[in-house]
């Protein structure tokens, strides 16, 4: 074997060893698992024309498990702030199997701390919306997905739904607004268990502590959420929007003129006035007239 041949083989073997070490390295594994050019598209939104006063916003993230990127959150904020004409209730659903796996960490890894912190302001729009919001939950409801769910008034879940906050696992310090929202809904003990110990909550536990309103089968989930929203939409719009604002004002989330809201409901030609008129008419036509027996 010539000297040049031996040198060539040595170089080839060295390259192979280096290549194998690289393939075994953490950096290669990270690049293999998270190749930037191979990342599936972020979550998109599918909206349905408001029907019977109900406007549906549906998360569609496919393999990304409906993660929330900055553009997705911005779009949700815009849709909630300016829904289609005639909207009385908003419903947020998601394509299965998960509701939302949290913030888009791939996107976050490319940005700065300020970019991630900027997400916080967007959920405030949902929390301060005058329109009632119903959300249908399934599979994983994690991190930012939990914040999105907690911004709703009514949360309906399927039996296999699980709730988690990955703060401890990721080394993330949550926003004050996000922590406060979780504590308000599930209480001090469960909030500390989720944020400090990474505790996950099952659908049954979530129901028992008030995190969800009711549990239905997955095949009935979307239909039930739309049915619930339609029921809200049939009642007084003044009462629904006014009482949502009052509920948020009591919790200190928003500052509203509660006296003005109540005066509006007592307006001569308002819903309350019409309801009282209808009640009096029904009583007058009933046996015994207006006299209670």
- pLDDT, tens digit, for every residue of 114-145? 766 665 555 777 888 899 999 999 999 999 99
Mean pLDDT confidence for 178-194: 94
Q: Which two tokens stand for residue 131?
A: 């329109």
Whether residues 134 and 260 share a domain: the answer is: no
Mean pLDDT confidence for 199-210: 98
- 3 state DSSP class of 169: helix
Mean pLDDT confidence for 94-112: 86
Distance of CA 4 to the CA centre of its chain: 66
CB-based contacts of 271: which residues, under 8 Å, 6+ apart? 236, 237, 238, 239, 265
Whether residues 173 and 217 share a domain: the answer is: yes
Whether residues 212 and 79 share a domain: the answer is: yes
Q: In the 8-state DSSP scheme, what is residue 103?
A: B
Domain boundary among 190, 207, 232: 232
Q: What is the pLDDT of residue 218?
A: 97
User: Could you tell me where the DSSP H helices lie in 91-173?
Assistant: 105-110, 113-117, 120-127, 144-150, 167-170
CB-based contacts of 82: which residues, under 8 Å, 6+ apart? none
CATH code at position 76? 3.90.226.10
Q: What is the pLDDT of residue 214?
A: 98
Whether residues 25 and 121 share a domain: the answer is: no
* Residue 27's pLDDT band (cuts 50, 70, 90): very low
Q: What is the pLDDT of residue 291?
A: 45
Residue 293 lies in a domain: no
Whether residues 63 and 123 share a domain: the answer is: yes
Q: What is the pLDDT of residue 289?
A: 52
Return d(Cα 8, Cα 138) in angstroms, integer: 59
Whether residues 70 and 86 share a domain: the answer is: yes
Share of the chain above pLDDT 90, in %: 44
Q: What is the pLDDT of residue 19?
A: 44
> What global pTM score does this model have?
0.75
Whether residues 247 and 193 share a domain: the answer is: no
H/E segment holding residue 50: strand 44-51
CA dihedral 100, 105, 111, 117 (to 10 degrees): 50
The total number of structural domains that make up the chain? 3
Residue 171 lies in a domain: yes
- Residue 66: how many other CB atoms lie within 10 Å: 27
Q: What is the pLDDT of residue 172?
A: 85
Residue 291 lies in a domain: no
51 φ, ψ to 5°?
Answer: -130, 130
Is the pLDDT at 146 greater than 70? The verdict is: yes
Residue 39 lies in a domain: no
Domain boundary among 196, 217, 232: 232
Q: What's the distance, Cα to Cα, between the start and end of the chain in Å? A: 116
Q: Range of 14's domain?
A: 3-33
CB-based contacts of 93: which residues, under 8 Å, 6+ apart? 56, 57, 58, 59, 135, 136, 221, 222, 225
Residue 210 lies in a domain: yes
**Which residue has better confidence, 141 or 287?**
141
- Residue 127: how many other CB atoms lie within 10 Å: 18
Residue whose pair of structure tokens reads 């701390």 in the numeric block: 113
Domain boundary among 232, 252, 273: 232
Residue 191 lies in a domain: yes
CB 141 within 8 A of CB 161: yes
Whether residues 207 and 247 share a domain: the answer is: no
Return d(Cα 192, Cα 185) in angstroms, integer: 13
- 3 state DSSP class of 45: strand
Residue 95 lies in a domain: yes
What mean pLDDT, rounded, does the chain reach?
79
Whether residues 155 and 267 share a domain: the answer is: no
Whether residues 160 and 249 share a domain: the answer is: no
Whether residues 23 and 67 share a domain: the answer is: no
* Residue 163's pLDDT band (cuts 50, 70, 90): very high
Is the pLDDT at 217 greater than 80? The verdict is: yes
- 3 state DSSP class of 154: strand
Residue 251 lies in a domain: yes
Whether residues 281 and 159 share a domain: the answer is: no
């Amino acid at each position: 074997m010539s000297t040049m041949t031996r040198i060539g083989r040595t170089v080839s073997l060295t390259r192979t060893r280096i290549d194998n070490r690289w393939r075994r390295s953490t950096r290669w594994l990270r690049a293999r698992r998270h190749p930037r050019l191979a990342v599936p598209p972020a979550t998109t939104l599918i909206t349905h024309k408001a029907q019977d006063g109900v406007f549906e916003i549906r998360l569609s993230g496919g393999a990304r498990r409906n993660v929330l990127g900055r553009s997705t959150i911005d779009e949700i904020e815009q849709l909630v702030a300016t829904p289609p004409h005639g909207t009385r209730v908003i419903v947020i659903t998601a394509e299965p199997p998960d509701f939302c796996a949290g913030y888009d960490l791939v996107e976050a890894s490319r940005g700065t701390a300020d970019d991630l912190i900027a997400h916080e302001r967007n959920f405030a729009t949902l929390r301060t919306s005058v329109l009632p919001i119903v959300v249908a939950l399934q599979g994983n409801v994690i991190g930012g997905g939990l914040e999105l769910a907690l911004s709703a008034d009514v949360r309906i879940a399927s039996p296999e739904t699980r709730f988690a906050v990955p703060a401890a696992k990721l080394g993330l310090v949550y926003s004050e607004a996000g922590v406060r929202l979780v504590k308000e809904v599930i209480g001090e003990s469960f909030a500390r268990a989720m944020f400090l110990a990474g505790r996950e909550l099952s659908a049954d536990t979530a129901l028992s502590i008030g995190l969800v309103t009711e549990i239905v089968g997955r095949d009935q989930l979307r239909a039930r959420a739309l049915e619930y929203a339609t029921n809200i939409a049939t009642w007084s719009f003044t009462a629904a929007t006014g009482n949502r604002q009052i509920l948020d004002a009591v919790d200190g989330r928003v500052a509203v003129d509660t006296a003005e809201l109540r005066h509006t409901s007592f307006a001569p030609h308002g819903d309350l006035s019409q309801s009282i008129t209808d009640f009096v008419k029904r009583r007058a036509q009933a046996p015994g007239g207006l006299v209670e027996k």
